[in-house]
Amino acid sequence: MKTIGTANARTPIKLGLLLLLCPILLWLFLLVILPQLTMLNISLQERVAPRIYEYGFSNFIAFFTEPLYWNTFLRTAIMSIIATILTLIIAFPISYYIAKMLRGRAKGLLFVLCLIPFWVSELVRTYGWMILLRESGVISTFLQYIGLVDGPIEFLYTDATIMLGLVYSSMLFMVVPLTSTLDSLDDSYIEAGYDLGGNGFSVFWHIVVPHAKPAIVSGCIVVFMLTLGNYLTPILLGGKSSLWFTEQIFTQFITRFNWQQGSAFGVLLLSISSLIVWLGLKLSRQSFSKVMS
Amino acid sequence: MLNHMEFDLQCTDIVRKFDDFTAVDHVSFAIKKGSFFSILGPSGCGKTTLLRMLAGFDNPTSGEIIIKGKSMNGVAPNKRPVNMVFQHLALFPNMNVSENIAYGLHRQGINKVEIKHRVEQVLARVNLAGSGNKQITQLSGGQKQRIAIARCLVLNPDVLLLDEPLGALDLKLREHMKVELKQLQQEFETTFVYITHDQSEALVMSDQVAVMNHGQFQQVGDPQQLYYQPDNAFVAGFVGDSNKWSASVIDILPDSLKVKTTTGLILSVSKVDNKSLIIGSEVDIFIRPEAVHISQQVTANLQDNHLNIKINNILFDGANSQLLVEEQNSGEEIKVKLPQTAEFMHLQKGDKLQISFPFQQVKTFPKELEVS
Amino acid sequence: MNISRCRSLIAVGFTLCITAQSVNAETLRLLTWGGYAPKIVVDMFKAETGIDVEVTKSNNEDMIAKLSATRGGGFDLVQPSQDRIASAHAEFNIYKPIDMSQIDNKLFVASMLDATLKSSMYEGKSYGVPHIWGTSGLIVNSEQAANVKDYTDLCNDTYRGKVTYRLKRPTLIAFAFSMGLDPFAAYDDPAEYEKIMLQVQDKLISCKANVKAYWSGGDAMKNLMRSNETVAAMAWDAGGWQLNDDNKAISFVAPTSGALGWIDAFAIPRKSKNESAAYKWINFVMQPKVAAMITDSAGNFTASKGADDFVNASLRAKYKASFDTAAIDNIKWYPPVPAGLEMIEGKVLDRIKAAK
Ligand SMILES: Nc1ncnc2c1ncn2[C@@H]1O[C@H](COP(=O)(O)OP(=O)(O)O)[C@@H](O)[C@H]1O
Ligand SMILES: [Mg+2]
């Protein structure tokens, strides 16, 4: 896709600007770059004997040679991608409905309704799902009460439950950018699409989607990253087979006291997820700066 | 029915209600094949609502729309043989010029080679050959206009609907585009339905103009008819520039009426057709500034209205210059066209003159309640 | 943003360092288990010595993680299990030796004190003294799972989806004993130990269908048992006795292969800022009457000599019901964990978790 180059002559960076940027740069360095570097440093140390460490790549090699770690990562990434796609599929009609079908108060109301679950913490939200879905929970009891099933049913601790939780907790981050972008799409474009002979699908595909593309891609990036880095939802809803990569990292740090391995996983998670996002941007032919603006 | 063949578009008794507000109120009309039909009316009078019903984005509460002899009731916008040029054009920003034009052709399933050919052809006809690869943002206002029209015309619609497409352009360009639109319409021989609140656009371009107010058609006719023979006070006031006064009838003569305005000015005015006025009836009277004759010498003609006036202001606007004058007895203010001839070059504020106009030039309409 | 989890872990480390500097000298920062420092005892201690006790609740792994992050700082007194002191110290250098001259050893049950001093030995010095002991075994709902007598019975097909246990090292060791193996004997032979662990791994993977959820906090386990979502669990004795208060059918059962005995100890972090307060606290809580109050709160008995007489009768009765003399003799006490074994166990636990 070609865009016209804005012939914005680059002015030399002035000292004043540099001073203004100082706090931000410092903040970036102290809170973003420094911890990552520390982590990289730790991840490169391998234990040879108690209290003795040497530099080496064994922690990274362990990731690639132990299928367990690999598979956990793969599973996490695939589940995250599926969750992202599902979130998009569910959020799009909702956003479209809010942005294009509703008017006035109903619009604001429904939008706020979508936000309300996010006023409570993720932990509370997840426990909410557990109360609903557990064997002795609300849904199971209700189904027995109305006589649909004979015995209690366990809805928790399956991949589907994890997916439900992930999609639910990601919804906001897809609905908000999509709604505001779709809201900015003038109705006349859609009408022009129909007027020129388009049907529902071609208007959606050739007019609505291209317009919403930056929001779709940015929503997907945010949801994917959040899902990949989610800890509580897969652990609490997934139970005995949750198997999430961040849980692996947590385990390495906290229950195995293996900071070296944990850091290596952290570095790998960051790099591989960045790679996946980069691939996604390439595939959708979007630039990161455009998507995030 | 034979008469269906010569009309591209016929509407019978169209009504559109929003809750208890009637936006379009019993409108009927028929548009001849290949003609340029304008709907002229002030903002909010229901023009867009009517046009959207023609395009199929909205449905009449009652009434029927017939295009090329086929009823359009329940026919979706993408199935109607009409296309619309939107108020803000709605060119798709994510597509370049050719893609915009090709969009509709693709929807018809035409093959790529044919599409390419037809896009080039239509670009040439709107004088934009070779601009196919330009982005929409790279086009000037007038070019966008032409692309928007080309995007519709490439589909050979029976009727092209245009919703104030010149509204966003600056004055110079608007003047230019008026001419160009008219030429395009004649070249393509497509029926245009053009809506506007700008009377000059409607008068310059149209074969037929419908003047609309409060959801109703006030008068349908060619531009000259509307200008010289307005059917009612609204049309007389809305089309062209006029002096308008409220007055009451004080005498009824065989050819004319004598009326007295609220400020006490007494004038001879034309008689109203088929309307029984009695002495004391309230009327609105209209006189166009160009119908008023200015003279520096006193000439006597008892049939005409002769007024002694003083110049209050000179509004210089080249060929459209006007004088604002004040009648000496009543103080009534009158707009008068100032011909740019040597005779009147030296006129100044405060000068005293005589003006005169024949009673036939003063249009009279019975007073209507609440005319905008 | 995906990595924020790890970053916050590092940030927690930093904060711990920072808060360590700003603590008032007359506070005792105690890192311990829930129930081990009840408010009433903290208040009594404050009244007697003027020292505030700042209690942070934790567990074995968390204690080691916290101390290793700060290299032995942030707390003045901690309470890891006695078997995990020497190995953690060998690995991370986080404790300082116990100064026995500051401890009133007459307050302790002698055998337990000796055992703990010995098990927490590193390079000839002792790093821990005992405080509270208890066992892990089975909590069984006798109405629905009367046949659960040993850990391996949890894997019985009848209890599909109806049992719960932790996914931690005690579970591995318990199942090993229950399968007729002796993991403690293999502690010093990593190869042999790994073989045992691999057998346990297979057993626990095949048992996975029976597990409703791997519990991680005592409250989660109690919830599962109370709501009848599970009918048997591997858990601590005190948890079983507490459940018994609500539902008489549920109680702690010492497994036939033997309950696993643990002793939670006191250890002084290497960078402790208030050692004298730490010793004062140890001597204070080991007084029989105070120790009995802690037993009431924690549900487990202490290493304080003569304290049992002050413990309420119902708890003593439950204890008696769960442990006859044979069962007490059959308790398998954890020997100190040699450094490195936890690596083997970690991999095994990961594989069990990952199995379908
Ligand atoms: N969807 C609608 N709901 C309610 N009222 C409407 C709607 N669309 C238009 N109107 C009203 O109908 C009247 C005519 O509007 P419109 O056709 O847009 O006028 P115009 O195009 O002549 O300026 C206006 O008063 C407008 O408020
Ligand atoms: Mg309009």
Q: Could you tell me the domains of chain B?
A: 4-236 (3.40.50.300), 241-366 (2.40.50.140)
Phi, psi (deg, nearest 5) at residue B175: -60, -45
Nearest CA-CA partner of B233 in B188, B189, B266, B282? B282
CATH fold match for the domains C4-133+262-318 and C135-260+336-354: yes
- pLDDT tens for residues A198-249? 999 999 999 999 999 999 999 999 999 999 999 999 998 988 878 899 999 9
**Which ligand minimizes its atom distance to the CA of B46?**
1
For chain A, which chains pass the contact test of at least 3 CB pairs under 8 Å? B, C
Please indicate, yes or no, if residue A193 is contained in any of the structural domains: yes
pLDDT, residue B297, reads 74
What is the H or E stretch that residue B29 is in? Answer: strand B21-32
Q: What is the signed CA dihedral for C233, C235, C241, C245, rounded to 10 degrees?
A: -50
SS3 A164: helix
- pLDDT tens for residues A4-44? 444 444 455 677 788 888 888 888 888 888 988 999 999 99
Residues of chain B with pLDDT under 70: 1-5, 273-275, 298-303, 368-372
pLDDT-based confidence at C14, cuts 50/70/90?
very low
∠ CA A168-A169-A171, nearest 5°, is: 65
Cβ of residue B23 lying under 6 Å from some atom of ligand 1: yes
Please indicate, yes or no, if residue A4 is contained in any of the structural domains: no
Question: What is the rounded CA–CA span in Å between residue C124 and residue C305?
Answer: 26
pLDDT, residue B299, reads 65
Q: In the predicted model, what is the mean pLDDT of chain A?
A: 88
Question: What range does the domain containing A271 cover?
Answer: 66-291
Contact status of C123 with chain A (Cβ, < 8 Å): no
* Percent of the residues in chain A that have a pLDDT greater than 90, as a whole number: 49
pLDDT, residue A7, reads 43
Contact yes or no for C34/C81 (Cβ under 8 A): no
Please indicate, yes or no, if residue A51 is contained in any of the structural domains: no
A103, pLDDT greater than 90: no
Contact yes or no for A236/A244 (Cβ under 8 A): no
Question: What is the rounded CA–CA span in Å between residue A124 and residue B225?
Answer: 75
* Percent of the residues in chain C that have a pLDDT greater than 70, as a whole number: 93
Query: Could you tell me which residues are beta bridge partners of residue B216?
Result: B213
Query: For residue A186, how far is the Cα from the chain centroid?
Result: 29
CATH number for region C4-133+262-318: 3.40.190.10
Q: What is the CATH number of the domain that holds A89?
A: 1.10.3720.10
- pLDDT tens for residues C101-155? 999 999 999 999 999 999 999 999 999 999 999 999 999 999 999 999 999 999 9
Q: Which CATH number fits domain C135-260+336-354: 3.30.70.580, 3.40.190.10, 2.40.50.140, 3.30.420.40?
A: 3.40.190.10
The number of helices, as runs of H, and strands, as runs of E, in chain A is 15, 2
Phi, psi (deg, nearest 5) at residue C227: -85, 5
Phi, psi (deg, nearest 5) at residue A79: -60, -40
Beta carbons of B83 and A196 less than 8 Å apart: yes
Contact yes or no for B367/B246 (Cβ under 8 A): yes
Q: What pTM was computed for the model?
A: 0.82
SS3 C299: coil
Query: Could you tell me which residues are beta bridge partners of residue B31?
Result: B9
Rg from Cα positions in chain C: 20
Parallel/antiparallel/unpaired status of strands C27-32 and C52-57: parallel
* Interval C197-202 mean pLDDT: 96
Burial of B273 (0-12, 13-18, 19+ CB in 10 A): exposed
CA of A134 to the centre of ligand 2 (A): 57
pLDDT, residue C3, reads 42
pLDDT, residue A152, reads 85
For chain B, which chains pass the contact test of at least 3 CB pairs under 8 Å? A
* Interval A53-78 mean pLDDT: 91
Query: For residue B187, how far is the Cα from the chain centroid?
Result: 22
Q: For B103, which of A4, A196, A199 is closest by C-beta distance?
A: A196
Q: In the predicted model, what is the mean pLDDT of chain C?
A: 90
Phi, psi (deg, nearest 5) at residue C137: -165, -140
**For the CA of B18, the nearest atom of ligand 1:** 4
- The structure tokens 């006070």 sit at B233
Q: Where are the domains of chain C?
A: 4-133+262-318, 135-260+336-354
SS3 B267: strand
A2, pLDDT greater than 80: no
pLDDT, residue C43, reads 96
pLDDT, residue B255, reads 85
Number of domains in chain A: 1
SS3 C168: coil
Q: Which residues of A touch C167 (CB under 8 A)?
A: 240
Q: For B135, which of A4, A195, A207 is closest by C-beta distance?
A: A4
Question: What is the rounded CA–CA span in Å between residue C88 and residue C60?
Answer: 10
Contact yes or no for B92/B103 (Cβ under 8 A): yes
pLDDT, residue C51, reads 95
pLDDT, residue C102, reads 96
Question: What is the rounded CA–CA span in Å between residue C184 and residue A78?
Answer: 41
- The structure tokens 């108020």 sit at B87
Contact yes or no for B72/A167 (Cβ under 8 A): no
Cβ of residue B38 lying under 6 Å from some atom of ligand 1: no
Beta carbons of C7 and A35 less than 8 Å apart: yes
- The structure tokens 């798709």 sit at B92
C19, pLDDT greater than 50: no
pLDDT, residue A192, reads 96
pLDDT, residue B303, reads 57
ipTM given for this complex: 0.84
Instruction: Tell me how far apart the terminal alpha carbons of chain B are, to the nearest angstrom.
Output: 40
DSSP A208: I
Burial of A119 (0-12, 13-18, 19+ CB in 10 A): exposed
DSSP B317: B
pLDDT, residue B298, reads 67
Q: Measure in Å the smallest separation between the Cα of A225 and chain C Cα atoms.
A: 5
Contact yes or no for A108/A115 (Cβ under 8 A): no
Q: For A225, which of C1, C69, C227 is closest by C-beta distance?
A: C1
pLDDT, residue A87, reads 97
Query: Could you tell me which residues are beta bridge partners of residue B62?
Result: B15
Contact yes or no for A225/A277 (Cβ under 8 A): yes
pLDDT, residue A3, reads 42
From B16, B18, B194, B238, mutation site for ligand 1 pocket: most ligand atoms within 8 A of C-beta? B18
Query: For residue C255, how far is the Cα from the chain centroid?
Result: 18
